[in-house]
Amino acid sequence: MSDARITAGRKLAADLNAIRKESGVSVKDVMDATRLAENVVEEMEITGLVSNPMFNRVYLRSIFRSYARAIGLEESSVLNALEEALGGTYDGSLRPGADLETVNVDENDRMSSDKATDEDTSARNESGTDEAPGSGSEVDETEDGETVADPEANKATQQGPELSATSVSSAPSPPVPSALPGPAQPAGRVVLLPNMRGMWVAAVAAIVLIALIAVAALWVVSRSDTAQEDIQGSPGATEAVEQPALIELPKPTLPDTLSIAVTASVEPLDPIRITLDMEQQMLISSVTDTVQLPIEPFVRFPLWIEMDSTVVFRFLQVAEFEREVEHATFTVEGHKLPPEWVDEAGVYTVNRDSVLSWLRRQSDVP
């Protein structure tokens, strides 16, 4: 799949998402109107579904048509945009002004950022030029009358106006006396010790935690030994511990040829369309006589079934039923099948493997 198609699909999805939000339509409203699952709607508004192999062109057109009605767009416009996205040529025809709005917003953000930067630069320049008295380089006078510049003050001045302003505005802090005793410490030098209080607290907490874990472990071991002694010393303890053998129930199986019964349980089936995978003869009785109807494999044929009437067929692997399936009940080898086996096209498919796995799941349920 080409990158152009993926990019076009994402752009279409973003436009649909923006239009839906601008129209005040929620995702739940779309789900209620289109009968689509939430994950389908979310993926549609992210990728456009054009890169998902599960959705073919016909299915996509049906989904986009329903989505267009839900958010109030013309179906033809949305379908044309879908075709452009599938061809990798969609360029925002649903929201022609979206790119211009994005450019205007980015330009306004850039101008605001430039303005803030200019104001910040002006403020720094003003603070750098208006020096407070005494903010220059410190000097010391020697015994010979010579003036020597303080290297620490010159270093602060060379670091720029910001450091100079900070040095002037902040008062020097008094020296902190050293906590280490000793005669040999240079004047004016400060020795700081690390704060050991937090480390001591953490160490004590770790020791207490280890002690608690050890006590709990010893208690569990002692309880286990006591319980084992009670079991061994009590009469009949061996018999009580022994468990009865489990009886494994046989797994359900199916014969080589399956019989399926179709019953008109809600209203007459007029008609239901049937496709079987094996040749057989079906007896049709009327008021005057009985006729044998030959059934060819994999050839669909219609059948009219009266209310509360049942017709039985045989198949090997698969049997398919179309039309009127919601008004019928299907039974395979005496087991009533679930009605949820109808696909999106309205076809009720009975497959040997599906029936067998369904019966095994039913047998595992207590």
Q: Quick one: residue 305, left, alpha or beta (phi over 0 = left, psi -120 to 50 = alpha)?
A: beta
- Provide the β-strand partners of residue 276: 319
CA distance 330 to 325: 9
* Encoded amino acid at 325, one letter: V
Q: Given this model, what pLDDT does residue 46 score?
A: 94
Q: Which fold has domain 3-98?
A: 434 Repressor (Amino-terminal Domain) (1.10.260)
Q: Given this model, what pLDDT does residue 76 score?
A: 92
Instruction: Give the CA dihedral 343, 359, 355, 53, nearest 10 degrees.
Output: 50
Contact (Cβ atoms closer than 8 angstroms) between residue 44 and residue 67: yes
CA distance 366 to 362: 9
**pTM higher than the cut 0.75:** no
Task: Tell how far CA 204 is from the center of its chain.
Answer: 44
Domain ranges of the chain: 3-98, 258-364
Q: Given this model, what pLDDT does residue 54 score?
A: 86
Contact (Cβ atoms closer than 8 angstroms) between residue 309 and residue 288: no
**Residues of the chain where predicted confidence (pLDDT) is lower than 50:** 100, 102-110, 112-113, 116, 128-194, 237-238, 366
Residue found by looking up tokens 């605001």 in the block: 112
DSSP label of 342:
B
CA distance 51 to 7: 10
Q: Given this model, what pLDDT does residue 313 score?
A: 87
CA distance 9 to 47: 6
CA distance 55 to 51: 9
Q: Given this model, what pLDDT does residue 324 score?
A: 87
Q: Given this model, what pLDDT does residue 52 score?
A: 86
